[in-house]
Amino acid sequence: MTQVAPGGTIGILGGGQLGRMLAAAAHRLGLKVHIYCQDADEPALDVTPHRTLAAWDDEAALLAFANAVDVVTFEFENVPVATVEFLEKHRPVRPGSKALGVAQDRIKEKWLARDLKAMTANFAGVGSLEELLARIDQMGLPAILKTNRFGYDGKGQAKILERSDAEAAWAAMQNQPSILEGFVPFRSEVSVVAARGGDGAFVPFAVTENVHRNHILHTATAPARLSGDVAAEAADITRRIAEALDYVGVLAVEFFVLAFDGEDVLYVNEIAPRVHNSGHWTQDGAVTSQFEQHIRAVASWPLGSAAMTAPKAVMTNLIGDDVAAWASLAAEPGAHVHLYGKREARPGRKMGHVNRIG
Amino acid sequence: MTQVAPGGTIGILGGGQLGRMLAAAAHRLGLKVHIYCQDADEPALDVTPHRTLAAWDDEAALLAFANAVDVVTFEFENVPVATVEFLEKHRPVRPGSKALGVAQDRIKEKWLARDLKAMTANFAGVGSLEELLARIDQMGLPAILKTNRFGYDGKGQAKILERSDAEAAWAAMQNQPSILEGFVPFRSEVSVVAARGGDGAFVPFAVTENVHRNHILHTATAPARLSGDVAAEAADITRRIAEALDYVGVLAVEFFVLAFDGEDVLYVNEIAPRVHNSGHWTQDGAVTSQFEQHIRAVASWPLGSAAMTAPKAVMTNLIGDDVAAWASLAAEPGAHVHLYGKREARPGRKMGHVNRIG
């Protein structure tokens, strides 16, 4: 695989905080970063002079971007697959369009997991209210209806507790192809953030236990509390998914943990084809951060050690007005404050995070 | 003191690797960075879109820079004092012109140390060959002749082992005001990198033991091997220097360590009014890096913890062609590779460093 030597340029599709933190990691390795995004106000644009502001379908801009960089990656899984396919004709894109296409489609994601002998919630595609009602009758309730594509942080989701909720739930999908998922009575949610290198090396970080509030990640704690060999099983499922997708880079697999007869059982929930919020603790609690690890993978450098540097790491997101506490957080001994430089603290917006290690 | 909130801008005079690493630390705290330097090829310019390329005496450019930032600092101690004095009329500059003026002048530096009851080498100002010969006769040999100002990494220095070396040594100074320093038979060199906050808080990192090759720092190891309370004494001398200079930010004080009757004795060698190469280990081996600590100080944030995260940290510089080994260093488990993105690996040029922790 093409290796990007120091002095080379990583092209990143998307200008959010993940792009900003990827850029910082690339800079540390002597690499340049070129951000491709739409909005001049994106946080990653404050950390590099190299940028393209253009639409995802602007082929002239995409071609110039490809020519300005050595390798392309993305920090945002809603980049159109067609954009990545266009770029792949000109430069390596890591991970590639195959992984992106699967991760954008909840139904494909679940079929992949099942093909790999991993469990998922019950699910069924839904294209109309009539179909939704029929699926509810087959699957039972409670269940959750989600748009099949382009959802994040609980957007495009509706709970269905009773059959009479179906009409409002379907209306909320705005006629988009959707997926009905059977309710999973999980005791916890965990994720594996891991890297796969250009040479096929697979290096997982410690499994992280995630707590959500209002459908947004609130805290991520490593290592997760899991019985027996379940952490190793989570890492192994993640490896199988990465291999099936010919993946190069960092990915995250989110799992539900169910307590079954005193044993923990894993259900694959979602695959994120990028660095992930539940891996932010690695910035201060692992030998190599997920951001550096992703850059190493996409630049075809050897992967770094994913070992924890302390027995425990806790990441807490700063959502909306939480960031107003920055001064007291900065005064807390040992708290590592990370802020994204976003101008406006809107409700539900990720403004930063704090890592507490040890 | 004016506090710079997230979203604010730190102005940095100088565009070298120290500015690049300061920028990364500021970005992590949600701050923007504006670099003021002369050369479009400087490594810090690859990590921010905000820049001014202008001479140190370009008052229009300096004024526009001051108006674009909330606070000014420098990464390079050879910025003219007049530049800083001009900027101080418009924005806080931390540390200020007083500290800069002392640190640019070896004779003032040594008098400051002596005023604060710290020891230094014998020294005398020298303005001519005749004066040099007279001083040699008073002080004895061996000795070192240095330009009083603008030396670094051994530049502008000449050893005098015999009286007959004096003429060549004086010629090497090119008629600049110089300082003759008595030879110090040191057993080791150590430095204290420390921060002083806007509120007067003083937080030193562990004392670092430094090994030079060809007058350029080769390795820095923390903690330094020192007898008894000598580490605490080094930190205390550094505190007294910082207080005498009304210092705000990170500074480094370099010491010679002499073995005297079985006890370690400290001589102040140099004061650097900035983050320092011997503090680079803090990026991976301390709770807060020297770069974040400096940004916290100049932005009037509370200082972070300077505690080590492991019992030992070793930083090795990559000088000139050393950087060609980047791929094998990247493959070394647990080695933290930092590269500066400089295009050309000239002999003696600092290209990067590696931190090995634990």
Does the pLDDT at position B151 exceed 80? no
What does the longest C-alpha to C-alpha distance in chain B come to?
Answer: 60
Please report which helix (H) or strand (E) contains residue B21, including its range. Answer: helix B17-28
Residues in chain B: 358
| pLDDT value at residue A154 | 66
Interchain proximity A48–B49, CB inside 8 Å: yes
Which of A20, A46, A326 has the CB atom closest to B49's CB atom? A46
Interchain proximity A27–B5, CB inside 8 Å: no
| pLDDT value at residue B262 | 86
- Residue that has been written with the tokens 């989701």 in this structure: A157
Does the pLDDT at position A155 exceed 80? no
Q: What is the mean pLDDT of residues B292-306?
A: 98
- Residue that has been written with the tokens 């991993």 in this structure: A118
pLDDT digits (tens, 9 = 90+) for B312-330: 999 999 999 999 999 999 9
Which of A29, A46, A337 has the CB atom closest to B29's CB atom? A337
Tell me the pLDDT of chain B averaged across its residues. Answer: 96
Interchain proximity B32–A341, CB inside 8 Å: yes
Distance in angstroms (rounded) separating the CA atoms of residues B128 and B125: 10
Q: How far is B74 from chain A (nearest CA, A)?
A: 19
Using a CB-CB distance cutoff of 8 angstroms, which residues of chain A are in contact with residue B339? 6, 28-30
Q: How many CB pairs under 8 A join A and B?
A: 109
Using a CB-CB distance cutoff of 8 angstroms, which residues of chain B are in contact with residue A24? 24, 27-28
pLDDT digits (tens, 9 = 90+) for A276-318: 999 999 999 999 999 999 999 999 999 999 999 999 999 999 9
Does the pLDDT at position A213 exceed 90? yes
| pLDDT value at residue B292 | 98
Which of A6, A27, A343 has the CB atom closest to B7's CB atom? A343
Residues in chain A: 358
Quick one: CA dihedral A150, A153, A157, A160, positive or negative?
Answer: positive
Tokens of B117: 């009851």
Which of A29, A305, A331 has the CB atom closest to B334's CB atom? A305
Q: Which residues contact A195 (CB under 8 A, 6 or more apart)?
A: A202, A203, A204, A249, A250, A251, A290, A293, A294, A296, A297, A303, A306
DSSP, collapsed to helix, strand or coil, labels residue A221 as strand
Q: How far is B233 from chain A (nearest CA, A)?
A: 25
Using a CB-CB distance cutoff of 8 angstroms, which residues of chain B are in contact with residue A28? 24, 337-339
Which of A32, A301, A326 has the CB atom closest to B341's CB atom? A32
Quick one: CA dihedral A65, A67, A69, A72, positive or negative?
Answer: positive
pLDDT digits (tens, 9 = 90+) for A84-111: 999 999 999 999 999 999 999 999 999 9
Interchain proximity B341–A24, CB inside 8 Å: no
- Which phi and psi (to 5°) does residue A290 adopt? -60, -30
Q: How far is A336 from chain B (nearest CA, A)?
A: 8
Q: What is the mean pLDDT of residues B80-103?
A: 98
Interchain proximity B343–A301, CB inside 8 Å: no
- Which phi and psi (to 5°) does residue B3 adopt? -100, 135
0.90 surpassed by pTM:
yes
- Which phi and psi (to 5°) does residue A162 adopt? -130, 155
Q: How far is A163 from chain B (nearest CA, A)?
A: 47
Does the pLDDT at position A133 exceed 90? yes
Identify the CA nearest to B300 among candidates B203, B194, B196: B196
Using a CB-CB distance cutoff of 8 angstroms, which residues of chain A are in contact with residue B6? 323, 326, 339, 341, 352
DSSP result, B56-69? TT-HHHHHHHHHH-
